[in-house]
Structure 1
Amino acid sequence: MSSEVFSYESLVHAVSGAVGSVTAMTVFFPLDTARLRLQVDEQRKAKSTPAILAEIVKEEGLLAPYRGWFPVICSLCCSNFVYFYCFHSLKANWLKGHKSAPATDLIIGIAAGVINVLVTTPLWVVNTRLKLQGSKFRNADIHPTDYSGILDAFAQIIRDEGVGALWNGTFPSLLLVLNPAIQFMIGAVAKAVATTITYPLQTIQSILRFGQFRDSTERSKLLSSLRTIKCLLVNRMRKYGLLGLFKGLEAKLLQTVLTAALMFLLYEKIASSTFRVMGLTNNHYKKR
């Protein structure tokens, strides 16, 4: 058991997945910025992704689409390292020489996703806050933050909101573990379908992670007595209609498909090259 969990093969897959995802996310990062703004800033009217990005650049500067890049990349690197390591370690112990199957990959992907969510959610909460800090919002209810960096964000959140706030959005994240599991089993097209289906949950996840709103009567009532996924979904749909649950979907789909395609290309190339150098190409890599 321990030899499979602590193995060079699992480490290579983890590092390859982390490097591939970080590179792909960096290339398509502005698309994620557009998506997050539309999810959290309810008063910002949905436009085409290029129009949203042009608006952000005009109002906040040329580098604004890359605001929060470093904490996001740190979180993504840790998250994908944990996910790929857990996936391949669990798979190696599960199969024990037996042939893999799509259903098996899906189950293992879900298990790896649950572990990943529980371990890395605090990083995603912090990077969501940092990515939106300094943004010009249309929603006057949003309370501005003043974090000097990742560690300061952790300290302020724990001090002002309690340790539990670091796991805001954990439940929708657990519901969303099917998303990366399907992506890993089938690929970018399935990822796009899964993203579309689960997008309303991703919207609520972003709102819960951000969690910075002024104490207006309506917002205070929402956050104190209706902080459940169901009520957040219903409230947003009543205010903005069904399409309000899908604000930013265009940017998310572009970012998801392009990032997934580039990430898996880099992941496969890095992993196969490493195994070839290690002399493990035929015995280990192809059995994946």
Structure 2
Amino acid sequence: MVAPSKLSQVFSYQNWVHAVSGAAGGCIAMSTFYPLDTVRSRLQLEEAGEVRSTKQMIKEIVLGEGFLSLYRGLGPVLQSLCISNFVYFYTFHALKAVTSNGARSQQSALKDLLLGCIAGIINVLTTTPFWVVNTRLRMRNVAGTSDEVNKHYKSLVEGLQYVAKTEGYAGLWSGTIPSLMLVSNPALQFMMYELLKRHIMTFTGGEVGSLGFFFIGAIAKAFATVLTYPLQLVQTKLRHRSKETAAAPSTSRQASGQRTESTLQMMISILQHTGVRGLFRGLEAKILQTVLTAALMFMAYEKISSTVGLLLKRNA
């Protein structure tokens, strides 16, 4: 049985502040740099052939589909991101509070990495359906996209209902295996962020400005992204391809087995057709987008959480 003191640490108001601040910061950052995320998704889904740069892809999208197409699917992405960030920030800080009892001396990089992995697993299992539908929503009305996607993926809710109806509930968790492998990405990011933050706060006597948080977030995300990018590429391709290969309903075991095999087969196929370079297709856009987004997210998160903290102290 969980002790009352531990429960109070899990359901503390401070954890809610962290979660809301993380969700708000993520939405602010994604709204700002969303066009780069659109380009990154397109580059990842390209097959072997001509390798286009971020600049070339932006030009092609704007000229062929219009400027607003760079923001296609922003609404559902913000909905999913808000939920995902809330779950991750809340879980991470709740686990951190329970295991350290608020003592900074008990925090370490290895501990942050472990807590980040646990928070990531919980996040993946609860929010994967939203991201599965998001990947398809963003490809609506894009050349080469099937009529099925254009017709049935008009909103997040409609997309969730359609996937559940045509592919079964297992289809909503398409790409879960590479996603679970990718819990290392936010875990590495938070480990590096917390590590740099602790060292800088020790060096400056506890003071870190907004610009400092921006650069800490950028470095942490760049570190995590480069190490885990090949799995992110496979994840994106799996989520997009499952809509095209969905056939008759199958048992959860068969579907799960198929996706497990597809993960390995796709990795091998990419290596065979495009070499190691193919595993990093779209990395330029990903690094640019993800580093800027994470940097702005952490800066906004710290600003929002500290402001709310000051308001709480003032009203205490």
TM-score (norm 1): 0.88
Q: Counterpart amino acid of 1:80?
A: N
The equivalent of 1:134 in structure 2 is 141
Please tell me whether the aligned partners of residues 60 and 136 of structure 1 are also in contact (alpha carbons under 8 angstroms): no
Q: Counterpart amino acid of 2:239?
A: R
Deviations 1:147-200 (A, max 9, x none): 221111111111111110100111111111111112122232232132122111
Please tell me whether the aligned partners of residues 133 and 144 of structure 1 are also in contact (alpha carbons under 8 angstroms): no
1:175 aligns with 2:181: yes
The equivalent of 1:4 in structure 2 is 9
Instruction: Count residues with an aligned counterpart.
Output: 272
Unaligned runs of 5+ in 1: 216-222, 281-288
2:285 is matched with which residue: 246, 251, 262? 251
Structure 1 residue ranges, 4+ long, deviating more than 6 angstroms after superposition:
223-226
1:198 aligns with 2:203: no
1:58-69 paired onto structure 2 within 5 Å: 58-69=63-74
The equivalent of 2:237 in structure 1 is 207
The equivalent of 1:218 in structure 2 is none
Q: Between Structure 1 and Structure 2, which shows a larger proportion of helix residues?
A: 2
Separation (CA, whole Å) in 2 of partners of 1:41 and 1:58: 18
Shift, 1:225, TM fit: 9.3
Deviations 1:59-103 (A, max 9, x none): 111111111111111111000000000011111111124322222
CA separation of 1:44 and 1:75: change in aligned 2, threshold 3 A: farther
Please tell me whether the aligned partners of residues 49 and 251 of structure 1 are also in contact (alpha carbons under 8 angstroms): yes
Structure 1, 94-103 or 33-42: larger mean CA deviation: 94-103
1:99-114 paired onto structure 2 within 5 Å: 99=105, 100-114=107-121
Q: Counterpart amino acid of 1:190?
A: A
1:117-128 paired onto structure 2 within 5 Å: 117-128=124-135
TM-score (norm 2): 0.81
1:65-80 paired onto structure 2 within 5 Å: 65-80=70-85
Supply the RMSD in Å over aligned alpha carbons: 2.3
**Secondary structure of the corresponding residue to residue 246 of structure 1:** coil
Shift, 1:274, TM fit: 0.5
The equivalent of 2:30 in structure 1 is 25
The equivalent of 1:283 in structure 2 is none
Deviations 1:246-274 (A, max 9, x none): 11110000011101111110000000110
1:189 is matched with which residue: 216, 219, 226? 219
Please tell me whether the aligned partners of residues 143 and 214 of structure 1 are also in contact (alpha carbons under 8 angstroms): no
